[in-house]
């Protein structure tokens, strides 16, 4: 893990201008303004473990399948906490999207820039959206998703969406723009969405709890 000094000397490209700083920076540029250099950034363990995601496998075309159990993410904790914590939360999210875009196809050394995303919303509750800072953070997340997903994602599966998240999604939809058309929003009835997942995702590339194989293991885990 980098120490604080090294961390704040980490070099991110904003547009075409490299920015170096020894000060504590709390503002985070948008996804489109950050280069892949961010993938070299080591974030605090409490961030990576608190907001994990993983590469589940590959579809029949070799496209990566990424899974994030965001219903278990305590995003409000980051939103209502100190500015440094919110900054690291945002950097972790941008890292996730950058990894999604830059992962190679199976059997290939070239980045595919296309992928499948599965967001599991099990556990999402009203607490996560019941502060102004939390709602502002979700609007920020939607803006990053619009930039990352619109031209690159094949399908975004959102499963286990309860009425709280469905109402939030209605608010976020205008911010998501065309990316919203890539989203398949499914409720909490597993029998209703398992078949949809398995139409495009091979069973052995998916966790058993999503209708996949009991012997499935993620290819890569972050957090």
pLDDT confidence of residue 181: 97
* 29 occurs within a structural domain: no
Do the strands 183-185 and 153-159 form a parallel or antiparallel pair, or are they unpaired?
parallel
pLDDT confidence of residue 109: 62
* 20 occurs within a structural domain: no
Contact 159, 194 (CB under 8 A): no
* 17 occurs within a structural domain: no
* 62 occurs within a structural domain: yes
Q: What is the pTM of this model?
A: 0.88
CATH of the domain at 191: 3.40.525.10
pLDDT confidence of residue 15: 41
* 13 occurs within a structural domain: no
Tokens of 84: 């440094």
Tokens of 60: 């029949």
Q: Which of 77, 188, 190 is nearest to 127 (CA)?
A: 77
* 18 occurs within a structural domain: no
pLDDT confidence of residue 95: 97
- Domain of residue 74 covers 44-222
Q: Write out residues in the chain with pLDDT < 70, as ranges.
A: 1-25, 105-112
Q: Which of 149, 146, 42, 60 is nearest to 100 (CA)?
A: 149
* 6 occurs within a structural domain: no
* 15 occurs within a structural domain: no
């Amino acid at each position: 893990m980098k120490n604080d000094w090294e961390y704040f000397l980490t070099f991110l490209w904003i547009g075409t201008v490299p920015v170096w700083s020894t000060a504590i920076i709390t503002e985070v540029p948008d996804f489109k303004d950050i280069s892949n250099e961010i993938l070299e950034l080591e974030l605090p363990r409490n961030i990576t473990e608190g907001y994990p995601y993983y590469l589940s496998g590959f579809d029949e075309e070799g496209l990566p399948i990424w899974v994030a159990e965001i219903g278990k993410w305590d995003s409000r904790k980051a939103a209502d906490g100190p500015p440094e914590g919110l900054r690291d939360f945002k950097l972790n999210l941008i890292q996730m999207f950058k990894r999604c875009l830059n992962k190679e196809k199976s059997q290939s050394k070239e980045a595919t820039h296309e992928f499948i995303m599965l967001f599991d919303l099990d556990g999402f509750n009203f607490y996560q959206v019941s502060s102004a800072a939390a709602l502002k953070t979700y609007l920020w997340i939607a803006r990053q998703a619009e930039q990352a997903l619109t031209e690159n994602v094949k399908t975004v599966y959102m499963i286990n969406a309860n009425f709280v998240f469905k109402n939030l999604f209605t608010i976020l939809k205008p911010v998501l723009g065309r990316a919203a058309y890539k989203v398949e929003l499914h409720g909490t009835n597993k029998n209703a969405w398992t078949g949809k997942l398995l139409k495009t995702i091979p069973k052995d590339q998916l966790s058993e709890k999503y209708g996949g194989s009991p012997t499935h293991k993620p290819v890569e885990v972050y957090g």
